[in-house]
Amino acid sequence: MKTIGEQIIMMPHPNKIRGFTLVELLVAMAISSIVLASVAAAYRTQIRTHATQQMVVDMQQNIRGAMYIMQREIRMAGHDPTGLSGASILVADDAVLQFQSDDNEDGDCDDSMEDIRYAMTADGALGRQVSGGLLDPLAENIDAINFVYLDGANPPNVLATPVPESNRSDIRSIQITIVARSGQNLPGLFYQATDDRIYRNQQGAIILDMSAAPDTFRRQLLTAEVRCRNLGL
């Protein structure tokens, strides 16, 4: 007991100060463990989401860049301002396209960038071959490339592939469909996303069927139609 002025303050006896019981400590530890587990789970989910979003962004940039280049070059197929080069479509198959264009208008297609071929490479990339050179990768991690050839009728008719040489002059537009894949699969933390979809071109034809052998890669389909403005002139 202490006396301060006229006030009397009772001080507890040191032996009577109550601490935490073992049960209280165990309860506090259990609650702390639950909170920490929740924080860790939220953090792991955020990391997974960020990684997935980054893979999707990379895949989109990959496929869009390839599609942009293909549209620009295919649009020039058959460019022959002098009428002397004989620029035309040389190969028109469902997974291979080769064409010429007299870009420098010198009356031939022997110069660089005037003979272009698109096809899949052996290691799963979309390849671009220029003037008989190597089939260099234009876009990595491509699971399917598909070309559909249309004539100038209204509505247009789909030309059977491979389009024979006698019918290639009928081509007026080309539909391009690409299926890109993420660079790696992302192991699931609480669940595993599985791709078992069927991918089709603009005509509804199947170009990639994942339903028979699903995997955990992310994929995106991109399709476009290019009018070959120099064909049929």
Mean of per-residue pLDDT scores for the chain? 87
For the segment 165-181, what is each residue's pLDDT rounded down to a tens digit? 999 999 999 999 999 99
Mind listing the pLDDT tens digit for each residue in 119-178?
999 999 999 999 989 999 999 999 999 999 999 999 999 999 999 999 999 999 999 999
Residue 189: the pLDDT is: 47
Residue whose entry in the numeric block shows the structure tokens 């064909």 = 231
Give the range among 100-104, 117-121, 179-183, 189-193 with minimum mean pLDDT: 189-193
Write down the residue that tokens 């070059």 correspond to.
73
Distance CA 199, CA 144 (A): 9
Residues 60 and 202 sit within 8 Å (Cβ to Cβ) = no
Tokens of 225: 């139609």
The residue type found at 229 is: R
Distance CA 185, CA 52 (A): 9
Based on the number of CB atoms within 10 Å of its own CB, is 220 exposed (0-12), middle (13-18) or buried (19 or more)?
A: middle
Average pLDDT over residues 207-227: 94
Q: pTM here?
A: 0.77
pLDDT of res. 120: 97
